[in-house]
């Protein structure tokens, strides 16, 4: 569970959180979409978002990250651009 979290002290991690979600049979984990807005190659907001996703998954949630790469920059494309529509 926390094997991929080298920055978390295992003895301090509350391992009961996933069990306390009380999911009914067949019920999915909480789903969380994480967003960041930087298109830079070395984006600290992206790194922070990826770390938050790892923590959320360790807590028993299902996380997805929206990657904004390929989107036009603000005021860089007109309203006819397919991704602006």
Q: Please state the length of the chain.
A: 85
Using 50, 70 and 90 to split pLDDT, how confident is the model at 84?
low
Q: What is the mean pLDDT of residues 33-50?
A: 89
Q: Is the pLDDT of residue 80 over 80?
A: no
Q: What pLDDT does residue 75 have?
A: 65
Decide if 30 contacts 60 (C-beta within 8 A).
yes
pLDDT in tens, 2-21: 677 888 888 888 878 777 87
Residues spanned by the domain of 35: 10-66
The answer to whether residue 82 sits within a structural domain is no
pTM reported for the whole predicted model:
0.72
The answer to whether residue 84 sits within a structural domain is no
- Number of structural domains the chain divides into: 1
The answer to whether residue 80 sits within a structural domain is no
């Amino acid at each position: 569970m926390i094997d991929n979290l080298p920055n978390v002290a295992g003895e301090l991690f509350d391992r009961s959180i996933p069990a306390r979600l009380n999911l009914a049979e067949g019920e999915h984990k909480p789903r969380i979409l994480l967003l960041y807005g930087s298109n830079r190659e070395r984006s600290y907001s992206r790194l922070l978002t990826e770390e938050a996703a790892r923590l959320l998954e360790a807590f028993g949630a299902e996380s997805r990250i929206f990657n904004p790469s390929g989107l036009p920059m603000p005021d860089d494309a007109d309203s006819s651009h397919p991704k602006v529509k």
